[in-house]
Amino acid sequence: MVQLLSIVNLIITFLFLALIARAILSWIPNGWNNPIGQFLFKITEPILQPIRNVLPRTGGFDLSPMIAVIILVILQRFIGKLIGT
């Protein structure tokens, strides 16, 4: 069980880093026109789209990455308590 939780924790860390990289890439013109940008989009969009569907429109400012990061941090802390770290 601990190994499974450790793997889930590692996946959460990867998603956290992917969300941060996506946010940084969004500041770069044509950042989505390369394989790394497309990979980050494919990995993070399934997480962000459901959050966007729930959040009210904020007029061009996307809060979904921030909400996703908060959710991932909460999950990681919960898993850390289960593992005992």
Task: List the domain boundaries for the chain.
Answer: 2-83
Non-local CB neighbours of 60 within 8 Å, separated by 6+ positions: none
CA 73 to chain centre: 10
What is the maximal distance between C-alpha atoms in the chain?
44
Q: Are the beta carbons of 77 and 8 closer than 8 angstroms?
A: no
Written as tens digits, the pLDDT of the chain (85 aa) is 778 888 999 999 999 999 999 989 988 888 888 899 999 999 999 999 999 999 888 777 888 999 999 999 999 999 988 887 6
